[in-house]
Amino acid sequence: MTTYTLIGPITQLIPLQKIGIKGAIKDQDLEIIENAGILIEGENIHTIGVFSDLKEKANALHAEIIELHTDYVCTPGFIDAHTHICFSGSRANDYAMRNAGRSYLEIAEAGGGIWDTVTQTRKAEQQLLADGVIKRANTLLKRGITTAEVKSGYGLSVTEELKMLRSIKTANSSTAADLVSTCLAGHILPKDFDGDHKAYLEEMSTTLFPILKEEQLTNRIDAFVEQGAFLPSDIYPYFEKAKQMGFDITVHADQFNTGGSEVAVKVGAISADHLEASTENEIQMLAQSNVISVALPGASIGLGCDFTPARKILDAGGALAIASDWNPGSAPMGDLLTQASILGTFQKLSNAEVLAGITCRAAAALNLDDRGRLDSGMLADFNLFETAHVHEIFYHQGKLLPSQVWKRGNLIMN
Ligand code: NIG
Ligand code: FE
């Protein structure tokens, strides 16, 4: 039997119904419903409106009515569209060495870098990896992230990539958050592979891709396009094969050098993520395409590097999502709201642009159209912040956490 629940009155509800995917947004353009109510039907939103107007409808449906007695601001549940939260081990030593002025090479020679996490992750049992993902996903949920993308990429062999993706699938059924998995077998060429970059990618696409389909482990393929990882010439055939098999493409692009965003545009990727090194050329190219640009301020903060030119991307008419990149190496913090707020201060983004970047535009970066906005028929994923004005959320730079997180129509209990 479908259950109905009405919640309200909510001081300010920000539905984001009319905010487009591309371009700059002014705070004045943010729709606000005052004294709002949300009528929930099962796991979806039945109606959004003024609380007093919804009461009659709620009574007719025998809805449970939850009356709120203090100020609340309601946003859609946040979406973290880029994480690597399936891993084992710590890279605190890399962090200390980097901050002490050691080079990338020196860190790698001391046993650090991505390969260290690959080694640790390969040693971990599948269930142990799943437990780590569940724990991190539950942490995200408390901070209002109701959907998180999770990449593999620390396995780097058919068996080990499968272990990671199976553990993400297990984790997805054991947390209330929705986890969207992505295969990042194209992270780096593993040290123990007997062959070159092309041969490795060929093995992954011919052996791993069919199993991903068969076991429904993911419908997304990612690769790190960068000097020292995979060059555009290596990656085109890999992405073409993935596209032919019906996978969505996403790219780690322009983190240190350009080239990746051009690949993303040419292969018709859903998103190009990082973009710290993107120049005017790449910004224009992305803005004229349907590729969502994903800024990862957590990686800039973790590495002490420049931020993605988010302002320029928006002003050029591009689509900007913001994600945490939570991973043990470059982005260990894993706090989306803090990082998105900080990106706002450095890049002069309006609060509306930051909010869209972690809700409706982040949903677009995952090719999901059932979340990221509050509207009839959308998932009932939303956050209630105990404050009277939406500006307070970003002003507190991640310190103001939601007092209530609702996921698929259920209140998540801490
Ligand atoms: O998105 N850029 C490449 N990959 C990750 C880092 C992974 C790691 O350092 O373990 C990123 O920043
Ligand atoms: Fe990443």
Architecture (CATH level 2) of domain 4-77+373-411? Roll (2.30)
On whether the CB atoms of residues 164 and 194 are closer than 8 A, the answer is: no
- CA 410 to centroid of ligand 1, rounded, Å: 34
pLDDT for res 414:
63
Cβ atoms within 10 Å, residue 280: 10
Every domain of the chain with CATH number 3.20.20.140 lies at 79-365
Residue holding tokens 């993911």? 218
- Residue 297: is the preceding peptide bond cis (ω within 30°)? no
Residue keyed to tokens 């990686």:
299
Q: Best mutation site among 82, 83, 84, 151 for ligand 1, i.e. most ligand atoms within 8 A of its Cβ?
A: 84
**Ranges of CATH 2.30.40.10 domains, the chain:** 4-77+373-411
Question: Cβ < 6 Å from ligand 1: which residues?
Answer: 84, 114, 117, 224, 252, 255, 299, 325, 327-331
How far away, in angstroms, is 279 Cα from ligand 1 center?
21
The CATH T-level fold of domain 79-365 is TIM Barrel (3.20.20)
Evaluate whether 144 touches 76 at the Cβ level (below 8 Å).
no
Of 387, 359, 361, residue with least CA distance to 374: 359
In 3D, which of 152, 149, 153, 151 has the Cα closest to residue 180? 149
Of ligand 1's atoms, which has the minimum distance to the CA of residue 154? 10
Alpha helices in 38-142 (DSSP H): 51-60, 92-99, 104-109, 114-123, 126-142
pLDDT of residue 396: 98
Q: Residue type at 263?
A: V
Q: Distance, CA 330 to ligand 1 centroid (Å)?
A: 6
Of 137, 36, 20, the closest CA to residue 78 belongs to 137
User: pLDDT tens per residue, the chain (414 residues)?
Assistant: 899 999 999 999 999 999 999 999 999 999 999 999 999 999 999 999 999 999 999 999 999 999 999 999 999 999 999 999 999 999 999 999 999 999 888 998 899 999 999 999 999 999 999 999 999 999 999 999 999 999 999 999 999 999 999 999 999 999 999 999 999 999 999 999 999 999 999 999 999 999 999 999 999 999 999 999 999 999 999 999 999 999 999 999 999 999 999 999 999 999 999 999 999 999 999 999 999 999 999 999 999 999 999 999 999 999 999 999 999 999 999 999 999 999 999 999 999 999 999 999 999 999 999 999 999 999 999 999 999 999 999 999 999 999 999 999 999 976
